[in-house]
Amino acid sequence: MKSSGKIDGPATPFLRNLDRFLEMMSAERGAAKNSVAAYRGDLEDYGAFLGQNGKSATNAAPEDIRNYLEGLDAAGMATSTVARRLSAIKQFHVFLQSENLSQDNPTRIIQGPRQKPSLPKTLLSNDMKSLLAAAADNTAGKEAAALFKALRLQCLVELLAATGLRVSELVGLKFANATAERDMLMIIGKGGRQRMVPVSARAQAVLQRYITALKLEAGETPVWLFPSHGAGGALTRQHFALQLKDLARHAGLNAAKVSPHVLRHGFASNLLDHGADLRAVQQMLGHADISTTQIYTHIQPERLSAAVESFHPLSQKRKTKTR
């Protein structure tokens, strides 16, 4: 039976338990507001389905969950969305059992839909160099406000390519967090988690030139590293994304294939391709789970094969070296 997606009437036991679960996710696990909202929407739909079938989360059986997932699949829901909903349901039932609100966890034997992980897009090394060169060329011959905007765009692109920040983290950088340490940026990421991200000498030089121009433009110490005249006071993600596509066209690249996320992935891929430690990449990207980093950076099969050949004690190549 298809659920309505809403649970009508006054607060039911399901909704009270859901509120307790979401409070735990926010307070103890640092879940972001958007994540909490997604959990609520997914679990309210699940609760409505159970209610229509005379069940609740505290007495649901594995068959109830299978029927719910089959209904989502029959309705044409994407595999990735079904998998996300099942993840939310599993975490909810683990919470209910840990709080002694239910005697069993019916999701223990439920397997999620199989899906092939999508590999993030990236730029070739030469394309990245062309983009950075175009950003530098864009500052030539400009003065006053036009020069400031060109320097701002160059700084944004250089930092993104050199740090792999999320675009929201980049445009949301506070001036104080960007200048506290000369070679590091203090980033406040998802869930309010803080991390320090190193900045290359090249990107640091571009940043310092931009900061000099920013101080002249602002006339005082600014709040945001990338201010704008918009309501929020800082440059928006959408505005930067549009500027990046314009820059890609000037660099002779396919603008449709260039975005802040593509540059973030290019940063991570380049690090792994040149032998960086996966845990270090995870920390710099701000991933809470290393499995996210593994999918995001799609380690090259040839690198894995080379690692086995070089370091596995039973490989032919290693035997030859040790003789």
Among this protein's residues, is 202 annotated catalytic?
A: no
Give pLDDT tens digits for 135-190: 999 999 999 999 999 999 999 999 999 999 999 999 999 999 888 887 899 998 88
Integer distance in angstroms from the first to the last C-alpha of the chain? 68
Write down the catalytic residue from 93, 152, 264, 265: 264
CA–CA dist 7, 51 (Å, integer): 8
Among this protein's residues, is 237 annotated catalytic?
A: no
Q: Could you give the C-alpha distances from 212 to 108, 157, 170, 263, 284, in angstroms and in order?
A: 58, 17, 19, 25, 27
pLDDT of residue 283: 83
In this model, does residue 125 exceed pLDDT 90?
no
Write down the catalytic residue from 190, 195, 209, 318: 190
Give pLDDT tens digits for 271-322: 877 778 888 888 888 888 887 777 655 545 544 455 456 555 665 554 554 4
**pTM score:** 0.58
Give pLDDT tens digits for 203-219: 999 999 999 999 999 88
Give 89-101 as a 3 state SS string.
HHHHHHHHHHCCC
Among this protein's residues, is 166 annotated catalytic?
A: yes
Among this protein's residues, is 312 annotated catalytic?
A: no
In this model, does residue 24 exceed pLDDT 70?
yes
Among this protein's residues, is 264 annotated catalytic?
A: yes
Among this protein's residues, is 261 annotated catalytic?
A: yes
Backbone angles phi, psi at 186, to 5 degrees: -90, 115
Local confidence band at 14 (pLDDT 50, 70, 90 cut-offs): very high
Write down the catalytic residue from 85, 93, 152, 166: 166
* CB contact at 8 A, 287 and 296: yes
Local confidence band at 84 (pLDDT 50, 70, 90 cut-offs): very high
Local confidence band at 4 (pLDDT 50, 70, 90 cut-offs): very low
Write down the catalytic residue from 84, 239, 250, 261: 261
Output 115 or 148, whichever has higher pLDDT: 148
Local confidence band at 2 (pLDDT 50, 70, 90 cut-offs): very low
